Structure 1
């Protein structure tokens, strides 16, 4: 019984399993023809027969594979998360979808075959996308694109950083001025710009040559100026070329250069204008310069002194940019300096510097063009109290002037003054500078005031008038106009041209008789109608021009008394004498035409001939020549001695040229 009892459940189980298998086989063997109610199939399922259903591929039910309940739910099978997920290959992701899946390249990669979706690794052709090449402006502005596997990176340019506050901007500017307030130092203002910054020096300061982001007071390199003179002094001493009385000149040179080097030295040890002036003044009061010596010794010593004081004055002006104007007066000299920052407000602006009773007028743009640093320039004016007496009484006549002529017989009659701009090197001025110097002694009528400057030659020097002219002179002052800056003085020279008294009498008597005869001729041509014709009309105009020219010649106007009046008289004389030659040319032309035609002149046509031909040429041609001459060289009218055309720059040819042409044409 026990055996049978135990075998019964087992047999029953086997029978049930076989029955279930047969039933499932019967369901599977069913056809769709048995599905008369297939419209009632659950979602994502299909009908096996009228009573059984199964989920579509890619879906699974919660219970058996085959079910009869139409409310059964078929859920999607996520193949990508299964126990055996699909192999999509490198740089690809498995993406599930309802009832299936597909493989797709990950972000930053794309299929080289052009097939966006695939099912397995054998179809994988994913490769990196070069975003930088595809979109060249992806990191702009202010960024550089760097491609990376599956991605890219934007590297910000210098002065920029990754933007965190503004997502619309990849790179944003770094405000260096705010980040580091002391980046430009105490004498400059930091100005932030897009991607950078720059330092703007305060007025009177310039960028440092040692640190481009720092500002400092400008300086002048003085050391190179007199190294050659030092060597010359040393060689002269070693070779015994110094005279027996001039050995003190070497110590004078050394003392001068020591002061200059102390003034130009960088740092807080530099001398101020007051200190430098006092030391130079003490040197001038010593006996070194006035002890004598050869003329070469004196010229070399004077050159060193003048240039050293100029450089020291400019250097001290630049070392104190907060002081625009500085003044210092000692027993031996007076100094005034002026600092110019920025551009001149007006091109015609002129600075006036004063020392003692002398003045220097220098254009502002001259100072700015000679600036040692951009936007900063200095001008210095020095007047020496007694330097003129030292060199005038002892050395001037012994060779410091060219031999012969007016300069050799002249004498100094003013203080020696010096003008300098920039770094002290000689420059040619686009517009002249004017110096007004007071005479030591009242100018005599028989003397001529000459403007001269100290011309440096071979480390020595001499007085020269080159480039300087006197624009105004009276008994107490002379104003000199010079096209360069250096050291200047006024020399008094005897008048070289003295008029002979008998010749003057003959001139005035002869011109008076000429005026009387010309007046009578003019009356005759005007009052005697019976002789009125073209020829007499030409004579009348010629006499009128000669009469006016002689009358103007006798007017007592001296060039130094009234320069403007003298220039006007010179211009009128130029015009009248040219008109005389023009009327003589017309008279010769008239005679030529008369002889060629061999007939009497038609009196009725004389008036028409004069109006249409004679007057326009006779008076118009001289007027045209004078107008062109005055426009080209307005300073050519009037000389230092006579109210006539200046011989400088060939201005006399404005008269001689037309006259020669008229004479040549008339003779032909």
Structure 2
């Protein structure tokens, strides 16, 4: 009995304990669920009234009793960092935790991607260049760096425009790749030069920058010393070529200078071309660099470009030979300068001329944006000593390239500070190629212009009267009259062309200007040829022993018009560019072309002078004879005096005229103008008014005109009276 009962008791007791425990657990679960509802996110209950944040989170207090509190993530990576990942690694925070990774360009030696602490750090550099993970352009060379890589331009290459060296995006090109012939220019000399330049580009890998610079300057000197077919180019193409050479040299020298380790560097060629380079660290101090031809002082901060880091450079290239391509360029005055000159001279500035006093000096920096500098640059240029004459001025000018004209000299942005003993100081707000010029301003003289127009108009009227006289007056017809007639025709046509087209208004030598110059050349040569024929006629009349009638008309025409035509054709064939100048449509004095006019004229004047001396001597002998033929001798004397006077007038006129096209004094200009205007009047007086037969013929014409008018008046009067009588008679009869 006891055993079963005891068992039942234990079972009952165990059941009671289970029920008690079950009730207790339900009570605890109810309390816990109620606690959790009161705890913020990322926390756990401690008891029914308190909570604690999970690991990796924190609150304002360690034990949370206020249900408004919150648990925020702890940033183990800082700042300040709570954990250390070690070298070449970076901490990455996560919600409630963190992990470590190697920096870009590094990987874990274990092959894992992440780790937890410094003791697990095995980060090591990745060689992107050898593993092929770089993105360098094909034109560059990859160079590995700790944790990264850089793309460098190889030797002889430079970054393309818009790119920088040693960048992952760098793109390169050859140093000479952008320096090519100007488009549209055909020149074997220039083509050969650029072929030599490309060969230099291939030698850069084996030669030093100094050697390349020396060979380059020698190549430029060789091109300019013997320009060959460059001289046959049009003026525009010559100026475009000069602009190309200047800009190309500046670009290449700047690039080569950046590869040099030694500085300063100076090179002086056998052709007196001189280069000076200065390379040093960036700074704000004033720096002076110089050479034989020029010195430059600038604030060194101007030498650095926006993206330049490390040393920067400044350079100056002086060339004497470059003047050959730039001498024919125009000089353009800015509006302020032109207004100042017109106010000073109280007249219009019609144009400018210049001549070089110094070498062409090109200044350049690492900074390529030098059109407007923050601080002006001061130059001291050495040049030939010169004293300005009337309407002349010594100026600081710079070269400005232009697509339309090829380029021109101007002074905008530059001012002359002073000049003494062959040295001129200038200050400019930009950099370019500079030169010291002696400028001559063509100030329009209104009085001279009025004298020219009125005087030439009078001369044309007188020459026309001479032509009509020689054609219509029969008593004076003969070989000498033929000579005088065609002399006046040549002078009339030449003077008319001179009056209408001597000035070149466009500033460029075009077809019209060349045609005018050619016609003037022909007409004035023809005038002197006909004048030489008068000397021949005198020689035949006075000097020859046997009687003669002079040259026949075919010979007169052949010599008078054929010889000047032959001279002009040969001159044009040899140098067609010699016709026309920038300001005047006349012969260009360059290369001695003016002697195509001076030579024949000088020869004719000398020959006629000799003939006239011989003639006067012969006349003197004949006048001293016992029974001279006084009638013929007086006629010969009159003809000789007339011819000598005519030669003197035309000869003196063109002696002054030669200086007119390169004016240095107003006296010469006025002398030429007055003598030119007197030509027609003088010939009219000499050959018409002083000729007895012509005067008699004029009197006959005057009498005929007077009688004709009187006859018309008498006829009209008689006729009027007769008509009145006829009108009155019927009325009378009617009365």
- TM class by shorter chain equals 0.3 to 0.5
Which has the larger share of strand? 1
Which has the larger share of helix? 2
Q: TM-score, normalised by structure 1?
A: 0.42
Larger radius of gyration: 1
